[in-house]
Amino acid sequence: MDDRNGRLSPLSPIDIWFALLIGLAAFALYVRTLAPSLLWGDSAEFQTLSYTLGMTHHTGYATQIIFGKLFTLIPINSIAWRVNLMSAFFGALAVAETFLIVRLLTGSRAAAISASLVLALTDGFWWRALVAESYAPAAGMLATVWLLFLLWRNTGKPDYLFLAGLAGGLSLGIHSTVVMTGASVLAVMAFSARKRVEWFSAAAGALLGVALFLGFFFFLDYNDPPSSVHNAVFRPNLSAVGLTEDEYDSAWDRFKFIFPANRASSYYFTATQNEMRDRLIEYVSYFPWWQLALTLIGIVWLFFGGRWREGLYPLIAFLLIWGLAITVSFSIYREFYVPAAVITSVWFGAGAGAVLSAWGRLTKLNQPSLRMTRVLITIILIALPIWNSRQDLSLAIQKGFTSFIRDNHVYPVFAPDKAIREAKRIVNRVEDNAIVFTNWDKLYSYIYTAQIEEGKMGIAFHEVLNEGNQILPTTMIAYIDENIDTRPIYFAIDVPKLSELYRVTKINDTLFRINRK
C-alpha cells in the first residue's frame, strides 16, 4: 500500500468541527486569562510597534508586526490588549491543529482530543498565549506547516506543499524555531516526493513567503516611526554595537544587522555543561509520569508502527528546537519549549492512539469487559489533562487568572494598569519635547504610554546600551551634546558616574535631569 495514500487517516467534516470547537474552547480560556493591559520589555515593544509599524529588536519580527497590526484594528478594548489577543489566537490555532495532526496520524479522535488538551493546558504554553510575544505565534505557524505537510502526505496534492512553504517563508518574520522545521520538510521530502511538481510547489510557496517577509521588513524599515528600534535604541548607541553611521545608513545595512541569519547556528552549545545538565533534569520534571510515558510510546510507535516518515519529521524538528533551548546560553531558553510543546503533545497523542489501537484489537475478541475497559481508557485519557490542571482551570473560570500567572508574575493580577501608571509618573513629569534615557524593560512601556495613551509624540525615549568602560556610548554622548542646549534631557535610570560628564539634578528616585557643567 502506498505510504502517502494508505497510512494516514482521512479527515472528515466532523473532525473539522471537533478541531474548531476545541480551538474555540482554548481561545475562550486564553481570553479569560489574557493579560489585560500594557506590559514591559519585549511584550511592550510588540504592543507598541504593532500599532506604529516600526522595526523591532533582532530579528525584526516583521511578519508578526504586520499580523499584530491587523489585531490592533479590532474595535474592542485597548491596543495593548488587542496585541495580547494575537497570542491567544495563535495559541488556540496550535491547539486546534494539534487535534487534526493527531487525528491524521492515529485515526483516533479520543487521542487527538487528549493531545490537544495536553497542549492547551500546559503551563508554559498557556502562559505564552496570554502576552504579546512571538512564541505562541511560532507554535501556531509550526502546527500549520506540519498539518499542511501531513495533508500533502495523505492526499498527494502539491497545493498543500505550496501553502506549507508559504507559511514557512512567512515565519522568517515570526520566530527562528519555525524555520528550523524546514530541515524536517526537506528530509521527509527526500524520501517521499517523487514528482517535480511537488518540489516546485514547495519551493514556490517558500519563495513567496520569503518575498512577503522581505516586503514586510523593508516596509517597516522605510516607515521608521520614532518608536522604531532604529530610533529608540540603535542610532544613539551605534558605537556600543560597533557600528558607524555609514555602516547603518542603508536599508540593506540595517537588514544585515537586525536579521543576523549567519549567526544562528553559533548559538548551539554555548551554555556550560552544568547548565545543560540542569536544564535536562528540569525539562523532564515538567511532564507528569503518564504524559512522559505516552510521549515516549508515541515516538517509538511512529517509527516502528509503519509511519517512520511521519516520525522523522517531528524528531528532526524537536531536536533542532529543543536542542537549542537546552544548549544555548540565553537566559530565556524556556521560551523555546513553547513551539516544541506542539511536537511533544502530538507524540503524546500518538502514544495514546497506539494504546487505544492495541486495546481495540483485543476488543475484537468480543469480550464485553475488554470493550468496557477501552471506553474507560478513553475517558481517562481525556480526563487526565483536565484533572492535572484542575486548580488552574478553577481559578481561571472563577477569578480570571491562574496560579502560574500569579506566582510567576506573568502580569500584575491585582494591578492590571501598573505599567501605564508607572510610565505616567515619568511621561507627565517631563516636557513635551524632552529626551529621556532608560533601560530596555521600561523603554516601550514609556513609549506606548506617551505616544499611544497620551498622544505626546514629541518626547523621545532611548535605551542606554553599555560600551565597555565608557560611562555612556560615545555616539550617545554626541547625541546629547547636540541637543542639550535646545531640549530638556533626562535619565529614568541611575547611571553611575554620569555626574562626571554633566550636572545632574535629581527630580525623584527614578528621574534625573542633566545639564552642561
**Residue 61 counted as domain residue:** yes
Clarify whether residues 320 and 433 are in a common domain: no
Clarify whether residues 102 and 139 are in a common domain: yes
**Residue 380 counted as domain residue:** yes
The residue to which cell 510557496 is assigned:
205
The residue to which cell 515538567 is assigned:
286
Clarify whether residues 63 and 13 are in a common domain: yes
**Residue 94 counted as domain residue:** yes
Domain count, the chain: 2
Domain boundary among 403, 429, 446: 403
Clarify whether residues 198 and 273 are in a common domain: yes
Residue 8 and residue 452: Cα distance in Å, rounded? Answer: 50
The structure's pTM equals 0.94
Amino acid at 76: I
- Mark the ranges of the chain whose per-residue pLDDT is less than 70: 1-8, 261-265, 306, 362-370
**Residue 234 counted as domain residue:** no
- Answer for the pair 348, 114: CB distance below 8 angstroms, yes or no: yes
- Answer for the pair 459, 433: CB distance below 8 angstroms, yes or no: yes
Q: HSE, CB side, 13 Å, CA atoms: give it for residue 132.
A: 33
The residue to which cell 514528482 is assigned:
195
User: Degrees (nearest 5) of the Cα angle 332, 164, 322?
Assistant: 25
Cis-peptide, bond into residue 48, ω within 30° of zero: no
Clarify whether residues 131 and 47 are in a common domain: yes
Secondary structure of residue 465 in the 3-state scheme: coil
Clarify whether residues 159 and 76 are in a common domain: yes
The H or E element containing residue 13 is helix 13-32
Clarify whether residues 299 and 340 are in a common domain: yes
Amino acid at 34: L
Clarify whether residues 449 and 390 are in a common domain: no
Instruction: Please name which of 43, 18, 1 lies closest in space to residue 154, comparing C-alpha atoms.
Output: 1
Clarify whether residues 217 and 353 are in a common domain: yes
Clarify whether residues 345 and 475 are in a common domain: no
**Residue 257 counted as domain residue:** no
Domain boundary among 403, 437, 457: 403
**Residue 284 counted as domain residue:** yes
3-state DSSP helix/strand/coil % of the chain, to nearest 5: 70, 5, 25
The sign of the dihedral angle between the CA atoms of 287, 316, 62, 91 is: negative
The alpha carbon of 349 is separated from its chain's Cα centroid by a whole number of angstroms, namely: 23
- Take residue 238 and report the three cell numbers written for it: 551605534
**Residue 327 counted as domain residue:** yes
Q: What is the CA radius of gyration of the chain?
A: 25
The reported pLDDT for the residue numbered 2 is: 35
- Take residue 182 and report the three cell numbers written for it: 524546514
Residue 346 and residue 359: Cα distance in Å, rounded? Answer: 20
Residue 204 and residue 183: Cα distance in Å, rounded? Answer: 17
Instruction: Please name which of 257, 176, 177, 173 lies closest in space to residue 217, comparing C-alpha atoms.
Output: 173
- Answer for the pair 224, 231: CB distance below 8 angstroms, yes or no: yes
- Take residue 425 and report the three cell numbers written for it: 509618573
Q: HSE, CB side, 13 Å, CA atoms: give it for residue 353.
A: 29
Clarify whether residues 445 and 397 are in a common domain: no
- Answer for the pair 251, 222: CB distance below 8 angstroms, yes or no: yes
**Residue 126 counted as domain residue:** yes
Q: List the beta strands (DSSP E) in 341-450.
A: 435-438
Residue 517 and residue 501: Cα distance in Å, rounded? Answer: 8
* Ordered DSSP codes for 187-242: HHHHHH--SHHHHHHHHHHHHHHHHHHHHHHHHHHHH--TTSHIIIIIGGGGGGGT
Structural domain boundaries enclosing 125:
3-227+265-403
Instruction: Please name which of 209, 176, 188 lies closest in space to residue 146, comparing C-alpha atoms.
Output: 188
Burial of 303 (0-12, 13-18, 19+ CB in 10 A): middle
Residue 8 and residue 153: Cα distance in Å, rounded? Answer: 8
- Answer for the pair 359, 374: CB distance below 8 angstroms, yes or no: yes
Secondary structure of residue 504 in the 3-state scheme: strand
Domain boundary among 403, 436, 454: 403
Q: Which residues touch 412 (CB under 8 Å, ≥6 apart)? A: 418, 419
- Answer for the pair 220, 54: CB distance below 8 angstroms, yes or no: yes
- Answer for the pair 338, 125: CB distance below 8 angstroms, yes or no: yes
Q: What is the CATH number of the domain that holds 470?
A: 3.40.190
Clarify whether residues 379 and 461 are in a common domain: no
